[in-house]
Structure 1
Amino acid sequence: MSQAALFWNPRFAGEQYAYGNAPNDFLKEQAPRLAAGSRVLSLGEGEGRNAVYLAALGHQLTAVDAAHTGLIKLLQRAAQQNLSITATLADLADYPIAP
């Protein structure tokens, strides 16, 4: 297990959301700049607050995080809102980003 996973898995393990449910303020400000239906790669997504927000706006999301506990919460939130998000469990130190 990566060092990132060792740190983040316990942080995201509880029922509460470590950073809340609302998307990051900067992301909300910048989201209108994305073309409709954009493919978005969200790195270090954690519990999904930003990915869920963008998916609800109609974007195609791939969310990457080293913490399986965060990705489980992300997928639960997405399912509750009938959103499709691809969740990838990976340490960003070793994650190859395709062009």
Structure 2
Amino acid sequence: MEPFWERAYLDDEVETFGKPSEEVINVSKHLNKNSKILDLGCGDGRHAIYLARLGHIVDAIDISKAGIDKINRIKEKLNLTNLKGFIGDATNYEFNCTYDLIISHGLFHFIERNNWANIIHRMKTGTQKGGYNIVTVFTDEVEIPEDLKPYVKGIFHEGELKKLYFDWSIEMHRSYQFEDEHDNNIRHCHAVNKIVARKI
């Protein structure tokens, strides 16, 4: 049984995970023109497409072929030549440049815990001085929904994410719970830690 998002990725009219997140919109206001951005675990591009439409140079990476295919279809429709979508695995993605902003939104719970530190290290190393990382993770404050359990490999503990950015300036940190409902009437409750950190 495939996860619900794979079906949603086939429809270009469906916003699988909603609109761009507030913190991405806020950080975008502080970026220089033509900033270079990496969306790691981009899904079907809710952040990558938004940022590319602002004129930034965006690399969008996801393991889902359907998600990247959708991004590339929308890219063609909108003539976003500054957006590149790649099929790739975050655990072995090679950073061949440095970025002004790296986003990882809802990726890490699909990755084994023993890979987290290496990915975060590469994200931090791959960020320009003064650049940003925006990271959102699920925590173990609430139980993982049944339909997601087959895909979830690791969950953060409360406050664990913030500790990984101890040497950066923490611009925003939030801990909260929310419920969401997807187009196929699946409802979820999630506990979240979210961070906006700036390299100093």
**Shared fold per TM-score greater than 0.5:** yes
Please identify the structure whose Cα radius of gyration is greater. 2
- Which residue number in structure 1 is paired with residue 69 of structure 2? 72
Higher strand share: 2
Count of aligned residue pairs for this structure pair: 92
**In the alignment, is residue 92 of structure 1 matched against residue 90 of structure 2?**
yes
Q: CA deviation at 1:27?
A: 0.2
Residues 7 and 27 of structure 1, relative CA distance in 2, 3 Å threshold: farther
Q: Which has the higher contact order (CA 8 A, sep 6+)?
A: 1
RMSD: 1.9
Question: After TM superposition, where is structure 1 displaced by more than 4 Å over at least 4 residues in a row?
Answer: none
**In the alignment, is residue 23 of structure 1 matched against residue 20 of structure 2?**
yes
**Structure 2 segments unaligned to the other structure (5+ residues):** 98-200
Among 55, 58, 66, the alignment partner of 1:58 is: 55
Could you state the TM-score of these two structures normalised by the residue count of structure 2? 0.42
* Percent of aligned positions that are identical: 27
Could you state the TM-score of these two structures normalised by the residue count of structure 1? 0.81
Deviations 1:22-78, CA, capped at 9 Å, x for gaps: 212210111011110011111111101111111111101111111111111111122
Counterpart CA distance in 2 for 1:7 and 1:27 is: 29
Higher helix share: 1
**Structure 1 segments unaligned to the other structure (5+ residues):** 1-5
Q: Secondary structure at the match of 2:93?
A: coil
